[in-house]
Amino acid sequence: LIDLDMNSFHNVLLIEDNPGDTRLVTEYLHERFGNDCAVRGAATLEAGLAQLRHSPADIVLLDLGLPDSVGLETFSAVNAAAPNTPVVILSGDDDEQVAMRALQVGAEDYLAKRHADSASLIRSMRHAVQRRRMSVRLRDSEARYRTIVETAEEGIVQLDSDATIRFANTRLCNLLGSSDLVGRSFTELVKASDLPALMGLMCTAPGERNSAELRLLGADGSATWVVAAAGCLVRHPGSNPQLVVMLSDISARKLAEAELLALKRGLEARVAERTAQLHAANVELESFNYTVAHDLRTPLGGILGFAELMRTDGEHLLPAPQAQQLAMIEHSARTMQGLIDSLLALSKISHQVLHPQTLDLSTMARRVADQLQVSEPLRPVQWLIADHIEGEGDANLVADVLGNLLHNAWKYSAKAERAVIHFGVLPNITGNAPVYVVRDNGIGFEMATATRLFSPFQRLPSARGFEGSGIGLATARRIIERHGGTLWAESEPGQGASFYFTLGGRPPLAA
Ligand SMILES: Nc1ncnc2c1ncn2[C@@H]1O[C@H](COP(=O)(O)OP(=O)(O)OP(=O)(O)O)[C@@H](O)[C@H]1O
Ligand SMILES: [Mg+2]
């Protein structure tokens, strides 16, 4: 049927009991299409059906009044036997009513024999082929879409502009536990609090696609979360637009989200609780640290005072070994005093009020370098201090950080043949805080020990022989943390060390 050339008919079945009419129609067809067109004749319905069973026809020309069948039943029998074959009725009666009925039940055309001539017959036959071709296509396409709609995992609903349901697929009926949805208002099936979302969907204009999450109410009162994706269906120009909505069940996802949220809240609460505990413990430790350090100063001051008195008053009374021991007592007490002062300074940083301002870090670093160089003018150190480095922070505290880091670089590069000390800023990666670096080419250290360096009084074995008490980096880190920044180190034994820090803002990944 599909391949049929519209300009010719090869295989026509003419079911007609009047031999004169049969002859006339056959002549018309041969005249028009030549001998290519085979016209098979059948004088009764039964003979016609037998012909159709034997081999299909391009078209059937059918008389309704046959010896064994009269009226539209004749057509129905032919149509049932060959549903894809177009049928043109050639009737002896010119009955308008029958003609209308014939078209309604699926005949392609109805011609009254007495008005039919060659031209009108051929035109009608062509028209018939075209119409049947289209209806077969339509039927196929409808079957295809019905299969898609009925096998879809999603619920599918078609709504009028007032939300009346025109169609609902089986999946949606199952989801809602109701087989009779057509004619009901979709608004009854949506949870009241989600109606604004539905109203938003109802405003979907032709060509648009909208989606929203809503809860559908089942017949048993249960609510199911779905994501509803709506598109506007304009069936033909001028018709009221309808909405086609696909509804995917997302209750599993919503459940997982709720569990995740509960878990997150629980975790947040636990983190907050732990943080509070940690803070309280820190405060306690701080105050203990401060009290101990503070209280130790007084007796230590006494020891130092009396030792000094003994030295000055009894200088010539004391035998030499005892005088030497006294000097050692004084020296140890002074060291202890230094440690206590450092501890006090460290604990003060936590409470100190910061006065942040824009700082010229290059100048600050140069000042430290000059002081160090003055302390040992003959030591050849190459200072590489970059210009115009700025940062935001408390002037005194940041100067302490630079002092500690540069002093370490100076100290631990003392044995290098040509010490080089560098202060600079890393090329900025957009959005991150600037990273400052103090680098030397001194003794370096094992990275495995790097975290220990920042705890008070922690010194590495490699630092033996260099003076110091191990408080510098702990102080520097606490200052940096007070600024909301990060301080970290990179090194290898014998390869020098690099200390990086930021003064707040988002730290780079390396930190
Ligand atoms: N630039 C560096 N090169 C190699 N090792 C270093 C460097 N800076 C610090 N360290 C190691 O880290 C330890 C801790 O440093 P920190 O500055 O806290 O103490 P310190 O320099 O020993 O004494 P203080 O700074 O209190 O005078 C040092 O003892 C040393 O082992
Ligand atoms: Mg130090």
Tell me what pLDDT residue 508 has.
61
Return the minimum-mean-pLDDT range out of 216-230, 294-308, 352-366: 294-308
Q: Of 39-43, 162-166, 457-461, which gets the smallest average pLDDT?
A: 457-461
Residue whose CB lies within 8 A of the most ligand 1 atoms, among 346, 453, 462, for a mutation test: 453
Q: Which of 336, 404, 459, 480 to mutate to test the pocket of ligand 1 (most atoms within 8 A of CB)?
A: 459
88 has a pLDDT exceeding 70: yes
Ligand number with the minimum distance to the CA of 469: 1
Question: Which ligand minimizes its atom distance to the CA of 473?
Answer: 1
- How many Å apart are CA 483 and CA 488, to the nearest integer? 15
What is the DSSP code (8-state) at residue 179? S
Confidence at residue 2, expressed as pLDDT on a 0 to 100 scale: 43
Regarding the beta carbon of 13 and ligand 1, being less than 6 Å apart is answered no
1 band by pLDDT with thresholds 50, 70 and 90: very low
> What pLDDT score was predicted for residue 466?
93
For 274-293, give the secondary structure using H, E and C. HHHHHHHHHHHHHHHHHHHH
Q: Residue whose CA is closest, atom 4 of ligand 1?
A: 444
pTM for the full model?
A: 0.53
Residues 6 or more apart whose Cβ sits within 8 Å of residue 156: 149, 167, 168, 169, 171, 172, 244, 245, 246, 247
Atom of ligand 1 nearest to the CA of 470: 19
Q: Whose CA is nearest to atom 8 of ligand 1?
A: 408
For range 162-181, the mean pLDDT: 94
Q: Give the distance (Å) from ligand 1 centre to CA of residue 466.
A: 9
Residue indicated by tokens 């030549």: 34
- H or E element: which one contains 128? helix 118-151
CA of 472, closest atom in ligand 1: 25
Q: What is the pLDDT of residue 181?
A: 94
Query: pLDDT class for 509, splitting at 50, 70, 90?
Result: low
Cα-based angle 395, 457, 291 (whole degrees, multiple of 5)? 75
181-185, 458-462, 506-510, range with the lowest pLDDT: 506-510
Check pLDDT > 70 for residue 511. no
Pocket-testing residue among 408, 412, 445, 469, ligand 1, by greatest number of atoms within 8 A of Cβ: 408
Say whether pLDDT at 3 is over 70. no
* Alpha-carbon gap, residue 3 to 152, rounded angstroms: 33
Protein residue with its CA nearest to atom 1 in ligand 1: 409
Residue 451: per-residue pLDDT: 85
Task: Name the band, by pLDDT with cuts 50, 70 and 90, for residue 351.
Answer: confident
Distances, alpha carbon 36 to alpha carbons 31, 105, 441, in Å: 11, 31, 103
**In angstroms, rounded to a whole number, what is the distance separating the alpha carbons of residues 345 and 495?**
32
Q: Is 306 exposed, middle or buried (0-12, 13-18, 19+ CB in 10 A)?
A: exposed
Return the minimum-mean-pLDDT range out of 77-81, 107-111, 203-207, 372-376: 203-207
Question: Measuring CA to CA, how many Å separate 446 from each of 43, 172, 495?
Answer: 110, 67, 10
Task: Specify the higher pLDDT residue, 284 or 420.
Answer: 420
Q: Is the pLDDT of residue 386 over 90?
A: yes
Give residue 5's pLDDT: 55
> What distance in angstroms lies between residue 471's CA and the mean position of ligand 2's atoms?
7
Q: Give the pLDDT band of residue 317 (cuts 50, 70, 90).
A: confident
| pLDDT at residue 217 in the model | 96
Q: Do residues 32 and 122 make contact, with C-beta atoms less than 8 angstroms apart? A: yes
> pLDDT band at 6, cuts 50/70/90?
low
Lowest mean pLDDT: which of 282-286, 302-306, 402-406, 493-497? Answer: 282-286
Q: Indicate whether residue 247 lines ligand 1 (CB < 6 A).
A: no
Percent of the chain having pLDDT more than 90? Answer: 71
Q: Are 401 and 436 in contact (CB under 8 A)?
A: no
End-to-end Cα, the chain, rounded Å? 76
* pLDDT > 90? residue 359: yes
Query: Can you give the C-alpha Rg of the chain in angstroms?
Result: 50
Check pocket membership of 52 for ligand 1, CB cut-off 6 A: no
Ligand 1 and 444: CB distance under 6 A: yes
Is residue 424 predicted with pLDDT exceeding 90?
yes
Do the beta carbons of residue 500 and residue 435 sit within 8 Å? yes
The protein residue whose alpha carbon is closest to atom 5 in ligand 1 is 444
Using a 6 Å cutoff on CB, does residue 468 contact ligand 1? Answer: yes
Q: Is 443 in the pocket of ligand 1 (CB under 6 A)?
A: yes
Is residue 356 lining ligand 1, measured as CB closer than 6 Å? no
- Compare 237 and 482 and report the one with higher pLDDT: 482
- 8 Å CB contact between 369 and 386: no
Please give the Cα distance from 96 to 76 (Å, whole number). 18
CA 262 → CA 14, 254, 255, 266, distances in Å?
A: 78, 12, 11, 6
For 182-227, the pLDDT digits (tens) are 999 999 999 999 999 999 999 998 889 999 999 999 999 999 999 9
Mean pLDDT in residue range 21-41: 90
Distance of CA 194 to the CA centre of its chain: 24
Mean pLDDT, the chain, whole residue set: 91
pLDDT digits (tens, 9 = 90+) for 257-301: 999 999 999 999 999 999 999 888 888 787 887 888 788 888 999
HSE of 487, CA atoms in CB hemisphere, 13 A? 25
Residue nearest to atom 19 of ligand 1 (CA): 470
DSSP secondary structure of 245-285: EEEEE-HHHHHHHHHHHHHHHHHHHHHHHHHHHHHHHHHHH
Centre of ligand 2 from the C-alpha of residue 440, in Å: 13
Q: Is the beta carbon of 485 within 6 A of some atom in ligand 1?
A: no
Which pLDDT value is given to residue 7?
A: 60
Q: Is the CA virtual torsion 428, 431, 434, 440 positive or negative?
A: negative
